[in-house]
Amino acid sequence: MKVALLLAIGLAAHNFPEGLAIGSGFRGSSILGYKIAFVIALHDIPEGAAVAAPLLNSNLSKLKIILFTAITALPTAVGAYIGAYIGEIQKVL
């Protein structure tokens, strides 16, 4: 459980700048934003597996493992919002 928690914290911190890239990519163009989001989504599959694998050895239910793993992706959404906001400011300037 400790290993999974440390991995989750590290990946959550790692996912925030990925979100910034997605949000700012969408401000550049929607096609660029979708391309970045797709590549990062593919990149996040093994990251989710890295968090879920140690949890499988714990007594958690599969639903809790999926929820715990999904929570590590929330900083991506926050980063995307902030990246889009900062990208909009840059367009004005």
SS (H, E, C) 28-74: HCHHHHHHHHHHHHHHHHHHHHHHHHHHHCCCCCHHHHHHHHHHCCH
Confidence class of residue 6 from pLDDT cuts 50, 70 and 90?
confident
pLDDT tens-digit profile of 36-85?
A: 999 999 999 998 898 898 888 888 899 999 998 889 899 999 999 999 99
Q: What is the pLDDT of residue 90?
A: 62
Q: Which two tokens stand for residue 87?
A: 């990208």
pLDDT of 93 strictly over 70: no
Q: Is residue 92 classed as helix, strand or coil in its secondary structure?
A: helix
The overall pTM is greater than 0.85? no
How many residues are there in the chain? 93
Residue with tokens 């714990």: 58
Q: What is the pLDDT of residue 67?
A: 92
